[in-house]
Structure 1
């Protein structure tokens, strides 16, 4: 007589335990905190889409986390997928007005990048650098790899939904593309997702509060300087692939007051890029 093994549930990976929702909610949703609600779902298409659809009925500070995201989106509607419980996939609802003029809301994805990098340095012991405008990079075996991305979208007239996807425990054979990475592959001292999520959300609360108190001024809040210090794009020769099939090559020399990337071109000119794909052509230095 043979004993068949019990069917393996996709949720039973002991290396990938579920998030501790009650403890996280207690730690994050408290009097005076930015975070007003905290919800974890097992799987969804996109936390950004879900939160945006409910934005009109929710106060600022709602947090939605998915253990698995089946139709996660990056910029230009690129797909972001990963095995269940292998990363952090979450979105937050922010209403920066009337403290912050709408023209400064474009800083929110950059602010989220700074907050994530700061929070992960403390919680995971990993150096995370920022690729303009919204990628999180880690170093794996001496190579720069993308471990996360940020997507900010307007929800109605007064709200912004900011989503973050971060590869935490992905192994080499699970990576969607060879240029991707994860915190585990970057030798993080901790891959405990509860600790990481708490660290990133607390850092985001702190940075958002400082920026909002400064009326969204990126210089007065220290955001512009901190972003530049952690930005792996600055000092490098890059190619900006712009809307309308236009490309521009030059040295990335600054991030201006509007959050745009300033390129010094071969003809001695300078051009600010507000949107586009950036390709790093050579290392900084």
Structure 2
């Protein structure tokens, strides 16, 4: 019998033994359960952007909370500030989920969702892959490759009606010669003990469900849900001198001292002022004395 999968033919399935396609049926069996968050799991061979597709589906009323859309390859993956995200087919996890916090969660607390996704992903990767994943404010996932921090993933959240689509891109088996830029990395290059994408995806989604359920149970309060504490503990940005490049060509240099209750990064500047910086105001954030 020929095994069926979301990527199409049997020839497709085994065309790269190092990078087999995801098993959509197994993912559904492992993730969909009565009373759980995840309502559907769809795996497509290729698309432009899972975020764009899921935003459109949500706007058309064709997606419910807990919908998960995964692509084996993205041709127009996006990060913040319209930066592109590209990677070889089946070399990573590229997926989006639809979350609808509901009227009991104040809108101003929805901004914690991408930070929540970062905490959930880092927690899952530590457990499932044995990789220490740090968070670079506001939406980057960092791993250590050859003693240096490298970006292995990113998170993008977009409002869609009464919900939020959260997209996660993660380099899993990307090889050194395939890196798009020298500052990129992957789980494989960071020495992950697991690079099988099926268990990694299940681990991330289960962790995301746990953190989201707790956050919503707490009314979106980042302190009561322990989200603010967990994010600060895993944030590599805190304690460093950074430069926030703001719109209009202005720079703000200071020590990152906290993430406040609104999810903003608080910088202590040289003149003693503590200045909160919102994600929407950031063009780029990096160590002040480095071009990384």
- Quickly name the TM-score band, shorter chain normalised: over 0.9
Query: What is the Cα deviation at residue 11 of structure 1?
Result: 7.0
2:81 is the alignment partner of 1:94: no
Counterpart position of 1:79: 84
Counterpart position of 1:20: 23
The aligned runs of 1:111-260 (5 Å cut-off) are 111-156=116-161, 158-260=162-264
Q: Deviations over 1:135-167 (max 9, x none)?
A: 0000000000000000000012x1100000000
Query: What is the Cα deviation at residue 280 of structure 1?
Result: 1.9
Query: What is the Cα deviation at residue 110 of structure 1?
Result: 0.3
Change (3 A) 1:59 1:260: same
Query: 1-side partners of 2:122 and 2:131: how far apart?
Result: 9
2:64 is the alignment partner of 1:53: no
Task: Classify the secondary structure of the residue corresponding to 2:266.
Answer: strand
Which one of 28, 31, 35 corresponds to residue 32 of structure 1?
35
User: Where does structure 2 lack aligned partners over 5 or more consecutive residues?
Assistant: 1-10
Q: Deviations over 1:192-227 (max 9, x none)?
A: 100100000000000000000001000000000000
Query: 2-side partners of 1:168 and 1:194: how far apart?
Result: 11
Report the count of equivalent residues.
275
Query: What is the Cα deviation at residue 282 of structure 1?
Result: 5.8
TM (normalized to structure 1)?
0.94
Query: 1-side partners of 2:14 and 2:104: how far apart?
Result: 43
Q: Deviations over 1:36-57 (max 9, x none)?
A: 0000000000000000000022
Query: 2-side partners of 1:244 and 1:272: how far apart?
Result: 17
Q: Is the 8 A contact 2:13 2:20 kept in 1?
A: no
Q: Is the 8 A contact 1:126 1:138 kept in 2?
A: yes
Q: Over aligned residues, Cα RMSD in angstroms? A: 1.3
Task: Classify the secondary structure of the residue corresponding to 2:72.
Answer: strand
Query: What is the Cα deviation at residue 22 of structure 1?
Result: 0.6
Query: 2-side partners of 1:281 and 1:123: how far apart?
Result: 33
Task: Classify the secondary structure of the residue corresponding to 2:151.
Answer: strand
Which one of 35, 44, 49 corresponds to residue 47 of structure 2?
44
Counterpart position of 1:265: 269
TM (normalized to structure 2)?
0.92
Query: 2-side partners of 1:194 and 1:282: how far apart?
Result: 39
Which one of 272, 275, 286 corresponds to residue 279 of structure 1?
286
Query: 1-side partners of 2:12 and 2:125: how far apart?
Result: 30
Q: 51-60 or 70-79, which moves further after superposition?
A: 51-60
User: Where does structure 1 lack aligned partners over 5 or more consecutive residues?
Assistant: 1-7
Task: Classify the secondary structure of the residue corresponding to 1:188.
Answer: coil
